[in-house]
Amino acid sequence: MRSAELHNEIKELNLAYLMLAQQLIREDRDTAMFRLGISDEIADLLENLTPGQVLKMSGADMLLCRFRFDDRLLLGLLSSHDRESGMARLHAMILAAGKPVEAIA
């Protein structure tokens, strides 16, 4: 991928992520915290970003969402095909709900 194209892809993904996060938080804050894996403070912060700030942040040239599942078992459950997928997803959900949320340091 050429680098200009790459920057654009990152920017677009950032924009999509931030907009989706804001939408989720505004619709149902508590469920959104679970889905996004974020703390109360971060939910506040995201919710209060102005469109201008969202645009500006999107162009930061690095991805704004972080890889959440630094856990082999959870990764395996979500990506494997050998188990009944409903059960694997339920198992993954139970494990994911117990993970600490992303918080402001």
Partner 1 sequence: MYTAMRNRSVVTEGREIQRAAELIELGARLQILEAETSLSRERLLKLYKEVKGESPPKGMLPFSTDWFLTWQPNIQASLFMSFHRFMVENAGMHGLDAIIKAYRMYVEHVQYNGMEQVLSLTRAWTLVRFFDANMLKVARCERCGGQFVADVFDLTRGYVCGLCHVPARAGKTRRRLEQFNAEQGTKVTV
Report the residue number, 13 or 101, with the smaller CB distance to partner 1: 101
Q: In the bound complex, what is the minimum distance in angstroms from residue 3's beta carbon to partner 1?
A: 39
Is residue 21 within 8 Å of 45, Cβ to Cβ?
no
Amino acid identity, residue 11?
K
Give residues in contact with partner 1 (CB under 8 A): 29-31, 33-34, 39-40, 73, 85-87, 89-91, 93-95, 97-98, 101
Residue 4 vs residues 15, 59, 68, 78, 90: alpha-carbon distances, Å: 17, 12, 27, 33, 40
Give 66's contacts (C-beta < 8 A, 6+ positions apart): 102
SS3 102: strand
Report the residue number, 79 or 85, with the smaller CB distance to partner 1: 85
Report the residue number, 6 or 94, with the smaller CB distance to partner 1: 94
DSSP-derived secondary structure for 3-14:
HHHHHHHHHHHH
Q: In the bound complex, what is the minimum distance in angstroms from residue 35's beta carbon to partner 1?
A: 9
Q: In the bound complex, what is the minimum distance in angstroms from residue 23's beta carbon to partner 1?
A: 17
Q: In the bound complex, what is the minimum distance in angstroms from residue 54's beta carbon to partner 1?
A: 23
